[in-house]
């Protein structure tokens, strides 16, 4: 009976080998062309087989599976670092040690059951581990960031809606995927019978191996202290910081995955440490505001109150209500030490106005021209003109960009998707435009021309104060006549047509739109909006992809034209403020930015974008040269609308205030009023050509670090629920 089972297993392996024969031929051809490498490969193979081959005296057989998994993980981590980070730094000691401890544990698991089950576990574990590394490569190719496995599992099924994008990314990463998936699997299949035994091991041997795994892990933990405990140090990344990109770079994929799973089980994100910010010894550099000749607005005031935009909050009561929770205490201390941003000439400029707020899918500033998108161009040049606005690519792409636009805080950087978590937990979203408008008696609605429940928006947006609508609840999608299947993507023009009648008679109103016409992929075969406007771009002197991208953004422009016409026809133009900001740049096709801008963009300037704040009541534009980003939108609009809000309780700041300029990018790059710091190259360039002081850089790094920590703590503690009773 046992012999029959072994023969069956052997036949199964032979069958798999035949299926993979073509890949073996490819490897053999490569070996013939690289004779020196082939000779070394043969020597290593012989040494490996002689050392851990079945029955080798002096080495217990149960070590074979542990050595196999440790070797597999070390190979994957090292090769991943080579292809993704182009370096082999000393910090590789952390992923290597973690690989050994995990490899030993997997070796124990693969020797705990019957031979047949153990063998299947080993094969499944090999495939899943390789697939995880491949998925990181693909995700990075698409989203320009990495993911923490257990942080995105809840939204992973939604990736299936965009398989064409995933397949396109895979085609661009064939060589990395070959080394991270095909070669490890070929190796396992070819040498499985030679050196790996999956016979059930004795409990004593398993206990010994477990102690070895713990010992190796303890060594890794001790090594974390070598680099100190500063921000984004290995120690900080393991115990405190939720920065997935930095964690993958320094600690590796497997450690990042472990931390993600631990956070899921404990309900913590790790972002509980706030760096002590040392004030930089430099005066503030405030915004450069330029007005064209004439009056800025018929509501602008010649003199103004310049007191801080803060509320009278009893922080002692908050601590008492929170049961002296440590994280709440950390937040209270941090907020009280902030001065807040000051009121200014634009405070209350649009008080009492209707408000229409739009997150524009995939919009980039370089598509806004008088010829291609005349309505967007009109809005971008006749209202507030932000010459140095950036849209950082936050974790979660669309949901992360939306979150930054709407909350004035940065989304989590890896442990979970902020939008989804806020909906699941029913978090208090006190200062969102929807909530602030509701308190003033506004009619608040939100609209999306895609699935209304995507990213848990059906739960998250009611928390933000909106009567939420989308496909499946209030929006009727356009379908193809021949198949009855909904067009993808949907038209933003149709979104305006269906939604406007629902709110325009209910003044004052606050309406939010999440558009979808500009969604990837950009081609004329699978994107309905690109195809719809194809005739308008046929004559352009650019690539087919660029033409397709321009064509789908033309649909957004038509929607804005439709909206402005409706506001004008109903007499609402002069008392309605429109805020429009992209959720992100076209991250899946970053080469588009280079082509449309006419010059290569680096990892910071690639995220230059546009922010539109426009009202027909403005007689002349206001030119703003201040550096600003998506998290600054909510505090800026809150100030312009004259709302009572606390500027200390957002990380973004009112652009029109005299606050120091600051933009933070994922990964710790930043722009201030004095310099640009690129965390990838670890270089700082001042605007006046002078050297950037180390003390100043250290202060700004801590500020950037705290943006993540404070944003996370606000929602992990549901902090606003303690504040709201004091402002009723």
Q: How many CA atoms lie within 13 A of 156 on its CB side?
A: 11
pLDDT greater at residue 377 or residue 239: 377
Residue 292 is predicted with a pLDDT of 43
Residue 623 CA to its chain's centroid (Å): 30
Query: Picking from 22-31, 112-121, 456-465, which range would have the lowest pLDDT averaged per residue?
Result: 22-31
What number is the average pLDDT over the span 656-675? 93
What number is the average pLDDT over the span 345-359? 97
Q: What is the rounded distance in angstroms from the CA atom of residue 701 to the CA atom of residue 230?
A: 11
The residue extents of the domains of the chain are 1-36, 59-266, 343-655
CA angle 27, 30, 35 (to 5 degrees): 120
Query: Picking from 192-196, 295-299, 405-409, which range would have the lowest pLDDT averaged per residue?
Result: 295-299
Burial of residue 697 (number of CB atoms within 10 Å: 0-12, 13-18, 19+): middle
Q: Decide if 486 contacts 471 (C-beta within 8 A).
A: yes
Residue 48 is predicted with a pLDDT of 43
Q: What is the pLDDT of residues 305-330, one digit of tens each?
A: 899 999 999 999 999 999 999 999 99
What number is the average pLDDT over the span 431-452? 97
Which residue in the block uniquely carries the two structure tokens 């980070």?
A: 85
Residue 150 is predicted with a pLDDT of 78
pLDDT of 9 > 50? The answer is no
Residue 286 is predicted with a pLDDT of 46
Residue 280 is predicted with a pLDDT of 52
Residue 563 is predicted with a pLDDT of 98
Residues 6+ apart with CB under 8 A from 144: 393, 587, 590
Question: Per-residue confidence at 29, pLDDT binned at 50, 70, 90?
Answer: very low
pLDDT of 542 > 80? The answer is yes
Residue 273 is predicted with a pLDDT of 67
Residue 283 is predicted with a pLDDT of 45
pLDDT of 266 > 50? The answer is yes
pLDDT of 4 > 80? The answer is no
Question: Per-residue confidence at 158, pLDDT binned at 50, 70, 90?
Answer: low
pLDDT of 715 > 50? The answer is yes
Q: What is the rounded distance in angstroms from the CA atom of residue 238 to the CA atom of residue 246?
A: 10
Residue 192 CA to its chain's centroid (Å): 39
Q: What percent of the chain shows pLDDT beyond 90? A: 62
What number is the average pLDDT over the span 129-152? 86
What number is the average pLDDT over the span 624-633? 97
Residue 676 CA to its chain's centroid (Å): 21
Residue 49 is predicted with a pLDDT of 47
Largest CA distance in the chain: 95
What number is the average pLDDT over the span 415-444? 93
Q: Decide if 256 contacts 248 (C-beta within 8 A).
A: yes
Residue 271 is predicted with a pLDDT of 56
Residue 413 is predicted with a pLDDT of 80
Q: Is 291 helix (H, G, I), strand (E, B) or coil?
A: strand
Residue 6 is predicted with a pLDDT of 42
Q: What is the pLDDT of residues 290-302, one digit of tens each?
A: 544 333 333 444 5
Residue 62 is predicted with a pLDDT of 58
What number is the average pLDDT over the span 104-121? 88
pLDDT greater at residue 211 or residue 156: 211
Residue 232 is predicted with a pLDDT of 83
Residue 181 is predicted with a pLDDT of 82
CATH number corresponding to 343-655: 3.40.720.10
pLDDT of 434 > 50? The answer is yes
pLDDT of 621 > 50? The answer is yes
Compute how many other C-beta atoms are within 10 angstroms of the C-beta atom of residue 495. Answer: 27
Residue 410 is predicted with a pLDDT of 94
Q: What is the rounded distance in angstroms from the CA atom of residue 12 to the CA atom of residue 27?
A: 22
Q: What is the rounded distance in angstroms from the CA atom of residue 373 to the CA atom of residue 540?
A: 14
Q: What is the rounded distance in angstroms from the CA atom of residue 722 to the CA atom of residue 331?
A: 12
pTM confidence score: 0.87
What number is the average pLDDT over the span 456-463? 95
Q: What is the rounded distance in angstroms from the CA atom of residue 677 to the CA atom of residue 657?
A: 23
pLDDT of 607 > 90? The answer is yes
Question: Per-residue confidence at 201, pLDDT binned at 50, 70, 90?
Answer: confident
Q: Angle at which helices 63-85 and 35-52 pack, to 10 degrees?
A: 150
What's the chain's average pLDDT?
86
Residues 6+ apart with CB under 8 A from 571: none
Instruction: Tell me how far CA of residue 27 lies from CA of 35, 179, 195, 566, in angstroms.
Output: 12, 11, 21, 64
């Amino acid at each position: 009976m046992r012999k029959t089972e072994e023969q069956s297993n052997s036949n199964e392996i032979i069958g798999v080998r035949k299926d993979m024969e073509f890949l073996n031929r490819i490897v053999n051809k490569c070996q013939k062309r690289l004779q020196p490498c082939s000779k070394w490969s043969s020597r290593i193979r012989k040494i490996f087989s002689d050392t851990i081959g079945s029955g080798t005296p002096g080495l217990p057989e149960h070590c074979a599976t542990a050595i196999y998994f440790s070797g597999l993980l070390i190979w994957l981590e090292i090769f991943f670092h080579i292809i993704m980070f182009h370096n082999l730094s000393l910090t590789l000691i952390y992923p290597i040690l973690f690989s050994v401890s995990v490899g030993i544990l997997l070796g124990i698991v693969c020797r705990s059951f019957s031979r047949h089950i153990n063998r299947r576990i080993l094969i499944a574990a090999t495939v899943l581990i390789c697939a995880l590394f491949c998925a990181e490569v693909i995700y990075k190719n698409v989203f320009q960031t990495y993911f923490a496995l257990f942080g995105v599992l809840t939204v992973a099924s939604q990736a299936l809606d965009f398989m064409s994008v995933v397949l396109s990314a895979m085609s661009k990463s064939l060589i990395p995927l070959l080394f991270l998936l095909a070669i490890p699997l070929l190796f396992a299949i070819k040498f499985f019978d030679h050196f790996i035994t999956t016979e059930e091991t004795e409990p004593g041997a398993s206990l010994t191996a477990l102690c070895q795994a713990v010992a190796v892990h303890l060594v890794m933990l001790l090594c974390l202290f070598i680099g100190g405990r500063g921000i984004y140090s290995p120690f900080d990344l393991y115990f405190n910081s939720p920065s997935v990109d930095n964690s993958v770079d320094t600690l590796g994929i497997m450690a990042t995955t472990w931390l993600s799973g631990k956070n899921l089980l404990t309900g913590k994100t790790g972002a509980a440490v706030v760096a002590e910010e040392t004030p930089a010894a430099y005066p503030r550099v405030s915004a450069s505001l330029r007005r064209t000749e004439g009056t800025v607005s018929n509501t602008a005031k010649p003199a103004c109150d310049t007191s801080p935009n803060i509320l009278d909050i009893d922080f002692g009561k908050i601590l008492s209500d929170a049961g002296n929770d440590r994280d709440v205490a950390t937040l209270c201390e941090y907020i009280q030490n902030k001065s807040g941003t000051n009121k200014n000439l634009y405070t209350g400029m649009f008080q009492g106005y209707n408000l229409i707020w739009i997150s524009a899918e995939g919009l980039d500033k370089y598509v806004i021209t008088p010829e291609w998108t005349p309505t967007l161009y009109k809005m971008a040049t006749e209202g507030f003109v932000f010459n140095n606005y950036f849209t950082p690519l936050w974790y979660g792409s669309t949901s992360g960009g939306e979150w930054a636009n709407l909350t004035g805080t940065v989304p989590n950087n890896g442990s979970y998707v902020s939008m989804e978590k806020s909906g699941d937990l029913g978090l208090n979203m006190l200062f969102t435009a929807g909530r602030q408008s509701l308190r003033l008696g506004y009619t608040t609605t939100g609209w999306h021309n895609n699935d209304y429940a995507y990213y848990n928006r059906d739960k998250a947006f009611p928390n933000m104060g909106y009567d939420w609508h989308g496909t499946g609840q209030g929006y009727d999608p356009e379908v193809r006549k021949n198949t009855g299947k909904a067009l993808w993507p949907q038209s933003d023009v149709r979104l305006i047509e269906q939604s406007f009648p629902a709110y325009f008679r209910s003044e004052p109103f606050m309406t939010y739109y999440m558009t979808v016409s500009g969604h990837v992929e950009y081609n004329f075969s699978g994107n309905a909006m690109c195809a719809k406007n194809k005739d308008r771009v046929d004559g352009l002197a650019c690539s087919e992809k660029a033409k397709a991208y321009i064509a789908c953004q033309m649909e957004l422009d038509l929607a804005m034209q439709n909206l402005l016409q409706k506001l004008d026809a109903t007499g609402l133009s002069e008392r309605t403020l429109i805020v429009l900001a992209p959720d992100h740049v076209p991250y899946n096709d970053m080469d588009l930015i280079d082509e449309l801008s006419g010059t290569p963009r680096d990892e910071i300037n690639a995220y230059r974008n546009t922010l539109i704040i426009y009202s027909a009541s403005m007689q002349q534009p206001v030119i703003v040269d201040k550096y600003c980003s998506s998290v600054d939108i909510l505090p800026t609009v809150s100030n312009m609308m004259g709302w009572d809000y606390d500027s200390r309780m957002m990380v973004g700041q009112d652009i029109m205030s005299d606050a120091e300029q600051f933009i933070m990018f994922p990964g710790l790059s930043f722009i201030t009023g004095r310099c640009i710091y690129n965390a990838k190259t670890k270089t700082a360039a001042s605007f006046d050509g002078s050297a950037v002081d180390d003390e100043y850089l250290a202060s700004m790094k801590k500020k950037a670090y705290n943006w993540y920590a404070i944003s996370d703590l606000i929602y992990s503690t549901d902090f606003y629920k303690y504040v709201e009773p004091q402002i009723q």
